[in-house]
A and B are shown apart, each in its own frame.
Chain A
Amino acid sequence: MWELIQSNKRKSLILFFGMGALLILIGYVFGSFYNPESGGAVGIFFAIILWMILSTISYFAGSKILLAVSGAKEVTKDVHPQLYNVVEEMKIASGVPYFPKIYIIDDPSPNAFATGVKPENSAIAVTSGLLSTLNRYELQGVVAHEISHIVNRDILLMTFAGMMLGAITLMSEVFFRGLYFGGGSRYRSKSSSKNSGQGQIIIMILALVLAILGPILAQLFYFAISRKREYLADASAARLTRYPEGLANALEKIANSSYKLRSANKVTAPMYIVNPLKREGMKLADLTSTHPPISERIKILRALQQGVSYKDYQKVFEMIHGKKEKIIPDSALTESIPVAPIMGLANQNKSFSHVDAKREANDAVMKLNDYKFINCKCGVRIKIPPDYNQPIVVCPRCGTRHQLG
C-alpha cells in the first residue's frame, strides 16, 4: 500500500496549495469589493496570513479542534469495554503500531469518523447512538473502516480539507454579513471614479459568485480526491474483518436512522463514515456529496460472496458500477492469498440485545460526564450526577446508606 500512502501525501500537498490559492483569490476579490484601490492587496495579505495560521493550526491541533467542535470526549477502557476491545482487535488485525485514541460523541444519531495528522496521534470518534444501535460485528465493520483511513494516511488529508473548508465557509459568511450591514456599497460610492466603474461591477459580480460558489467549489475539490478513499476504506474493512455483511448492516442502520447528528456541520460532515448532512432528493447535494452513494457501498459489500481480498472488491465494484475504474491501487491487487469471508455470524447476531447496547452506551456517556456509579448489594445500580451535593445516598430498595466521596 506504499504507493497509495505516497499518492495520498501528494494529494495532501495539492489540497494544501489548491485551497491556499482559492483562499488568496477570495481574499483579493472580497478586498477589492470593499475598497477598489488598496483592498485587493489587503485582502491577499489577510488571506495569506489566514492560510498560514490555518495550516499551522491544522497540522498541530487540527484533529483536536475537529474533535472539540464535534463534542467528542476521550474515553478509557472502563467507559465502554466493548468499543475498546473492538478497536484493539482491529488495531492488531490491521498491523498499525499505534493505539488510536478513542472518543465518544454524546448524540443519538449513529455515526463515526477518524482524524489525526500521523498514525501516532490518530483518533477514532463514534457517537453514543452508534454504540446503542450496532451489534459487535457491525461495530467491528465501522471501526475497521476508520482504522483503514488511519493506515492509508487519509486522515491528514481529511483534517486539512476540513480546516480549509471551514476557513472558506467562514470567509464567505463574513462577506455576506458585511454586505448585509451595507459596508460595501457605502465605501464604494465615496471612492468611485469614472474609469474604475466598470471594473468595479466585474469585481462586485465576481465577489458575489465567489461568496456563493467558494464553499461549494472547495467541497467539489475535496470530493474529487475523497470518493475513492471511501470505497477503499470499505474494501480494507471487509478484508480486515473478513465479514463484509457487518459493515453493510452498519451502513444500512446508519443511513436509516431518523436522528440528525446535532454537531455536524459543513466542515466536519465529510469526515464521517456516512455523510450526516444528506438530504433526500437534492441534486446539488448529490453533486457535492463527499461520499459515494451509500446504497452502492452496501451493494458492493453484500456482493463479496466469493472472497474479501482487494482483488475481489475491485471486481465486484466494476460489476456493480458498470464501468472500469481503479479503486484499489495496483500493489494491493497482486495479493494472491484468497481471503474467504466468514459465514454463519448472522446467528450470533441474534444474541444482540438493544436494551443492553443502549444501557451500555448511556452509561458510557454518564461516565464521561463524571457520574459516580454505586452497585448496591440488592441489585440496584445508583448513578449519581456530579452536581449532587448530599454526603450520603439511601438505596430506596434495601435501605443501605452509601457514603459518597
Chain B
Amino acid sequence: MNCPVCKEPMIILELNKVEIDFCPNCSGIWLDEGELELLYSIDKPDNELQKLFQQTTSSKEKSYKCPICRKRMIKTQFSNTDLILDRCPQNHGIWFDKGELEKVLTIKSNSSSEKILALLKDMFSYNKSQEAE
C-alpha cells in the first residue's frame, strides 16, 4: 500500500497483535478499519469505535485520497479533541499526518480514545523521545 501523501510504499508495524501502516518517509500513519475493529473487539464488543469520529466541515486542510479505494477522504474530528483526521468515506480506515501523530502523543486520553492513543504512544516511543531532545 502506498502513502496517500508522498505515494511511497508504506511498511507495516505489528505490536500486541495490532497492525499499523507507517510511511517512513513522511511519518504518516494509516489505521485500517479491520485493525481498529480488532483493537476494539478484543475485550469490548460494543460500538465504541463509531463514537470516536465526528464529521467536521471546519477544516481547510488539504484532503488526501484513501490508499485503498482512492476516494477522497473526509475530515473527521477525533473523539472531542482538536485533532482533525482524514477518514475514508467508505470506512476503509483513518489517516494521521506526522503533525497529527505528534498531537496524539501529547493528548490526555478519554476512555474510548484510550486504546488508539495508547497503541500509538507505545509504538512511536522512540520517535517521541527523539523530538524531545
B11 and A388: CB pair below 8 A? Answer: yes
Asked whether any CB of chain B lies closer than 8 Å to the CB of A299, the reply is: no
Number of interface residues of B (CB under 8 A): 23
The docked-state distance in angstroms from the alpha carbon of A356 to that of B42 is: 11
A380 and B17: CB pair below 8 A? Answer: no
Asked whether any CB of chain B lies closer than 8 Å to the CB of A346, the reply is: no
Asked whether any CB of chain B lies closer than 8 Å to the CB of A384, the reply is: yes
Q: Mark A342-365, 1 if CB is under 8 A from B, else 0.
A: 000000000000111011001000
B123 and A397: CB pair below 8 A? Answer: yes
Number of interface residues of A (CB under 8 A): 26
A393 and B122: CB pair below 8 A? Answer: no
Point out the residue from A355, A382, A397, A399 that lies within 8 Å of B11, measured CB to CB. Answer: A382
Residues of chain B contacted by A384 (CB below 8 angstroms) = 11-12
A191-239 residues at the B interface, CB under 8 angstroms = none
Residues of chain A contacted by B13 (CB below 8 angstroms) = 380-383, 396-397
The docked-state distance in angstroms from the alpha carbon of A399 to that of B132 is: 14
A385 and B123: CB pair below 8 A? Answer: no
Asked whether any CB of chain B lies closer than 8 Å to the CB of A52, the reply is: no
The docked-state distance in angstroms from the alpha carbon of A175 to that of B41 is: 52
Residues of chain A contacted by B38 (CB below 8 angstroms) = 355, 358
The docked-state distance in angstroms from the alpha carbon of A199 to that of B11 is: 67
B15 and A382: CB pair below 8 A? Answer: no
A399 and B130: CB pair below 8 A? Answer: yes
Residues of chain B contacted by A366 (CB below 8 angstroms) = 12
Residues of chain A contacted by B34 (CB below 8 angstroms) = 358
Point out the residue from B9, B42, B127 that lies within 8 Å of A396, measured CB to CB. Answer: B127
Asked whether any CB of chain B lies closer than 8 Å to the CB of A379, the reply is: yes
Residues of chain A contacted by B17 (CB below 8 angstroms) = 355-356, 359
Asked whether any CB of chain B lies closer than 8 Å to the CB of A174, the reply is: no
Residues of chain B contacted by A336 (CB below 8 angstroms) = none
B49 to chain A, nearest CB (A): 15
Contact A397 B9, CB 8 Å, known A355-B17, A379-B15, A380-B15: no
Q: Mark A371-398, 1 if CB is under 8 A from B, else 0.
A: 1000000011111110111100111111
A137 to chain B, nearest CB (A): 22
Residues of chain A contacted by B42 (CB below 8 angstroms) = 355
The docked-state distance in angstroms from the alpha carbon of A388 to that of B122 is: 24
Contact A385 B15, CB 8 Å, known A355-B38, A393-B24: no
The docked-state distance in angstroms from the alpha carbon of A10 to that of B1 is: 50
B31 to chain A, nearest CB (A): 14
Asked whether any CB of chain A lies closer than 8 Å to the CB of B61, the reply is: no
A397 and B15: CB pair below 8 A? Answer: yes
Residues of chain A contacted by B9 (CB below 8 angstroms) = 385, 387-389
Asked whether any CB of chain A lies closer than 8 Å to the CB of B46, the reply is: no
B126 and A397: CB pair below 8 A? Answer: yes
B84 to chain A, nearest CB (A): 22
The docked-state distance in angstroms from the alpha carbon of A383 to that of B18 is: 12
B128 to chain A, nearest CB (A): 9
Point out the residue from A381, A393, A396 that lies within 8 Å of B14, measured CB to CB. Answer: A381
A142-194 residues at the B interface, CB under 8 angstroms = none
The docked-state distance in angstroms from the alpha carbon of A358 to that of B14 is: 13
A217 to chain B, nearest CB (A): 40
Residue of B nearest to A399 (CB): B126
B123 and A396: CB pair below 8 A? Answer: yes
Contact A385 B126, CB 8 Å, known A355-B17, A355-B42, A359-B17: no
A396 and B124: CB pair below 8 A? Answer: yes
Asked whether any CB of chain A lies closer than 8 Å to the CB of B106, the reply is: no
A380 and B11: CB pair below 8 A? Answer: no
A393 and B123: CB pair below 8 A? Answer: no
Residues of chain B contacted by A358 (CB below 8 angstroms) = 34, 38
A397 and B122: CB pair below 8 A? Answer: yes
Residue of A nearest to B10 (CB): A385
B24 and A383: CB pair below 8 A? Answer: no
The docked-state distance in angstroms from the alpha carbon of A147 to that of B42 is: 34
8 contacts between A and B (CB under 8 A): A358-B38, A359-B14, A381-B15, A382-B11, A382-B12, A383-B11, A385-B12, A397-B124
Q: Which are the 7 A-B pairs with shortest beta-carbon distances?
A: A383-B12, A381-B14, A399-B126, A387-B9, A396-B124, A388-B9, A396-B127
